[in-house]
């Protein structure tokens, strides 16, 4: 039984699912809007919010932590420069 088990599998292995989430968060931060399914958006939303929280806090440690998840350096800079100020 799956009682109290959180998260969805989406028919993918763990590494594929994590890569999909990383790319979706990167695209969301790049374009600010993405088109996806309801289930995927519910899984990606907390991850994107966590990246924005790192961006709002600033600092080298938070930048490196976000860089380990966000796949594009330009998007990382956008998150820390533009989006962090917008959501403070």
We report the CATH number of the domain holding residue 46 as 3.90.1030.10
Per the structure, the count of domains in the chain is 1
Q: How far is it, in rounded angstroms, from Cα 21 to Cα 50?
A: 13
Q: Give the pLDDT confidence score for residue 15 in this predicted structure.
A: 98
Q: How far is it, in rounded angstroms, from Cα 22 to Cα 52?
A: 14
Q: Tell me the mean pLDDT per 10 residues along the chain, length 88.
A: 94 98 98 98 98 98 98 97 94
pLDDT digits (tens, 9 = 90+) for 18-34: 999 999 999 999 999 99
What global pTM score does this model have? 0.93
Task: Answer whether residue 5 is part of any domain.
Answer: no
Task: Answer whether residue 49 is part of any domain.
Answer: yes
Q: Give the pLDDT confidence score for residue 76 in this predicted structure.
A: 98
Its domain, for residue 80, covers 14-86
C-alpha 46: how far from its chain's center?
A: 7
Task: Answer whether residue 27 is part of any domain.
Answer: yes
């Amino acid at each position: 039984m799956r009682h109290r088990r959180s998260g969805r599998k989406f028919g993918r292995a763990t590494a594929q699912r994590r890569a999909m989430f990383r790319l979706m968060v990167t695209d969301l931060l790049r374009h600010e809007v993405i088109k996806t399914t309801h289930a995927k958006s519910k899984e990606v939303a907390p991850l994107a919010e966590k990246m924005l929280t790192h961006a709002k806090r600033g600092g080298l440690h938070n930048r490196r932590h976000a860089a380990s998840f966000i796949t594009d350096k330009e998007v990382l800079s956008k998150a820390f420069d533009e989006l962090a100020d917008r959501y403070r």
